[in-house]
Amino acid sequence: MPTQAKQQNQSISGFEPYQAVKGEEYMGKPMRAHFTKILNKWKQDLMQEVDRTVDHMKDEAANFPDPADRASQEEEFSLELRARDRERKLIKKIDKTLQLIEDEEYGWCESCGVEIGVKRLEARPTADMCVDCKTLAEIKEKQVGK
């Protein structure tokens, strides 16, 4: 396959979509290895972002005499810390998902038990519900929120 066509087939995270072999068992060893690789890379990228944030905050931390400058810097740091907090929660979810793979319980809907599907898992590797159950959960959430 030419390089350009190969690059177009790659997913956002830089991985090629999983190509199941005819008759292959759903969530067999090769499929679990594929998702383990994706999740570990995603976690590594998030951890690098945390390190960059710490370095950035150390480098940029200054005691500005002007209150407006100080407030701007504090707001910038606050936004960064909120983003890192969301990423921290995502890292915990990635760890939980990696444990599910190790326990061979990954890839099935926690609500109804059906296969979540490779395409959905490649789009959202930490998904723990099939599309139908997730849609119903979101509808219920909207109704309760009103």
pLDDT tens readout for residues 70-106: 788 888 888 888 988 999 999 999 999 999 999 999 9
**pTM metric for this prediction:** 0.78
Q: Is residue 4 part of a domain?
A: no
- On whether both 33 and 58 belong to a single domain, the answer is yes
Q: Is residue 51 part of a domain?
A: yes
> From the annotation, which residues make up the binding site for Zn(2+)?
109, 112, 130, 133
> From the annotation, which residues make up the binding site?
109, 112, 130, 133
Residue 13's pLDDT band (boundaries 50, 70, 90)? low
- On whether both 29 and 79 belong to a single domain, the answer is yes
- On whether both 79 and 94 belong to a single domain, the answer is yes
Read off the amino acid at residue 100.
L
Output the domain CATH number for residue 94: 1.20.120.910
- Structural domain including 100 reads 25-106
pLDDT tens readout for residues 133-146: 999 999 999 998 75
Is-contact 123 64, C-beta < 8 A? no
Helix (H, G, I), strand (E, B) or coil at 27: coil
Q: Is residue 67 part of a domain?
A: yes
Q: Is residue 6 part of a domain?
A: no
Is-contact 102 16, C-beta < 8 A? no
For residue 135, give both structure tokens: 């849609």
- On whether both 126 and 71 belong to a single domain, the answer is no
Strand partners, 25: none
Read off the amino acid at residue 113.
G
Task: Determine the Cα–Cα distance for residues 105 and 80; give it in Å rounded to an integer.
Answer: 34
